[in-house]
Structure 1
Amino acid sequence: MTPLEHMPPPSRTLDTSGQLCPFPIVETAKIVKGLDAGAVLLVIATDPGIATDMPMWCKATRNEHLGTFRDGAAWKSFVRKRPR
């Protein structure tokens, strides 16, 4: 099994393909606000900066970074909204 196959199914998916930093993180922040605690968001990005930016954003906001993985030309980042 690949690391992607070990990820929980996302509650929502955000595709930011073709957008550069900070767009993926800004849009992630907007969507996470509307999710229930414990929900998982999958962010798809083509900007490789997400591999560094997403773990840092999660740490700063105390959301859980489940992992960011390269999948062909895209990156897939999984975030779990923190419990209240």
Structure 2
Amino acid sequence: LVSSSEDDTDPSSSIAPSISRGSSCPRCMIFNNKIKWLCSRIEKYEESMQARINKLERLLALALNGQNDDNSGFGVSSSYPSMVSSVP
């Protein structure tokens, strides 16, 4: 049977009770641990992606200013001469 209560329409309200009951069921504990592990992996991935974005923004700013960042391990202007020269 399908219930049409408000709890079924709001995903956050249906998830919260199952997480709070997680300690009573071994299977729920396993899923809860997996959720925590996945959340930590996502946070680490987001941090590494943000670091990459920051580096790319810095390299782009340097390229737009006509400078070369020697710490990057490659020269922006030498690696991508057509891209840099086409920037107004």
TM-score by length of 2: 0.26
Determine which structure has the larger helix proportion and give its number: 2
TM-score by length of 1: 0.27
When Rg is computed on C-alpha atoms for both structures, the one with the higher figure is 2
* Bigger relative contact order, structure 1 or 2 (CA pairs below 8 A, ≥6 apart): 1
